Structure 1
Amino acid sequence: MTGPAPAWPLTASLLLLLLPPAFADPCSFPDSPISSTFPGAISTLSDFMLRDYPVDVPENLRADERCWALWHLAVAKETLDRLKLVAGSKVQEPLEGLYAEINFVGRCVNQSFPSCLRFRKANISHLLLEVSKHLGALQPLITQQDFGPCQQYRCQPEPSLPVSTLSSPSSLGALGGTLRPPRPSSSLLLVLGGLPVVLLLILGAAWIWKQRRRRLLRS
């Protein structure tokens, strides 16, 4: 006679059904997180900000077709985070409005910046224009792309430095040749070689003229 089957396999199966699948990708968006009103949020914040307020923008993110816009929005999100800490009460609400428009990138991009990433100073107006451009570029594509490869920022590869021509032995030899004193030309050698003869002729002529003068004085 067999007893009743234990209940734990059924319970475990129910728990597995309730858990999200392990392969679920947090960087896929079945529904677009970008609203159609994001231009208004950008415009409202722009009205409250000094147009020449300085912010940092990345200058050497890799030009990846899939991740380019997402990375720039993630950096802009970090900038808005810092602005919220120092902004006055009047600016807090428009800041939150734009922050809500780009907060979704935190699901995908690791917010720790790599050591290779460099920044340059720009005006807040430039940053807001960039945010508008990147949101507009992502809007029609975001539900069709898998942004899993975008979790880590990647930088443009540094250009390889050309090997200096002075470092090769052959070039050093060539350089040494250029540093040697120039060899005198053959015509110059001829002039210099005939100089003693000319001097002797001058001295001889002077001696003869001196002897003739003495004779004239005696006579």
Structure 2
Amino acid sequence: MDSPPSGCALVPLLLLLAVPIPSSCCSFAFNPVGSTFSAHLNKLTPWLLLDYPVAMPSNLEPDSGCSDLWGLHFGALALQRMLGVAGKDLAPLLGSLLAQLSFVADCHIQDPQGCVRLEMVNVSQLLETLAQHLGGLQGRPLNFPGCVRLRCHPALTGTPDTGARRDLSG
């Protein structure tokens, strides 16, 4: 029985080393914040029942460098869920707003510990916070170190949960 050439054992190791290690930094080569976001938001708002419930995180750690990016991440997830049930007139408006937030998906935000707790809020609250979070990113550097992994406050006893514990983080 012939043994494989000595260099063959090195190939799998080199392939393993070539796989990029997930980064904890999210950065953009261009400014991802669209200047037309408010216009898309204003077109969408009259179409929504402003007491429509959406799931949003309730226990993320405040972080001056990451909170806005995290808020946009969860806002985009809520809008995607809405798009899944939207009618033919509402879907294009949601799609336009989601296109403005598509850059957040490039960050591959994760909840590796499964710590995010969701609570139901009105879509009107979601729309307000989306505008605030997008405004919070304007004029900032395009580098968000340490923002890929979500960080949560420790669970408090008696904190209500929607039972929606799942992987909605990404």
Instruction: Normalising by structure 2, report the TM-score.
Output: 0.72
1:36 Cα deviation (Å)?
A: 1.1
1:112 Cα deviation (Å)?
A: 5.2
1:76 Cα deviation (Å)?
A: 0.9
Distance 1:83 1:159, change over 3 A: closer
Distance 1:56 1:146, change over 3 A: same
Code of the aligned partner of 2:97: L
Which structure has the greater CA radius of gyration?
1
Instruction: Normalising by structure 1, report the TM-score.
Output: 0.57
Partners of 1:113 and 1:93 lie apart in 2 by: 33
| Greater relative contact order, per chain length (Cα 8 Å cut-off, separation 6+) | 2
Alignment correspondent of 1:73 = 72
After superposition, where does 1:51-70 map in structure 2 within 5 Å? 51-70=50-69
- Does the residue aligned with 1:147 lie in a helix, a strand or coil? strand
1:46 Cα deviation (Å)?
A: 0.8
1:122 Cα deviation (Å)?
A: 0.8
CA contact (8 A) 2:31 2:142 kept: no
Code of the aligned partner of 1:156: H
Number of aligned residue pairs? 136
CA contact (8 A) 1:56 1:120 kept: yes
CA RMSD of aligned residues (A): 2.2
Distance 1:42 1:60, change over 3 A: same
Higher helix content, 1 or 2: 1
Identity fraction in percent? 36
1:152 Cα deviation (Å)?
A: 1.1
1:148 Cα deviation (Å)?
A: 3.5
Q: Establish whether residue 124 from structure 1 lines up as the match of residue 133 from structure 2.
A: no
- Runs of at least 4 residues of structure 1 off by over 6 A? none
Partners of 2:35 and 2:71 lie apart in 1 by: 19
Distance 1:84 1:127, change over 3 A: same
Gaps of 5+ in 2: 1-19, 158-170
Alignment correspondent of 2:91 = 92
1:110 Cα deviation (Å)?
A: 2.5
Higher strand content, 1 or 2: 2
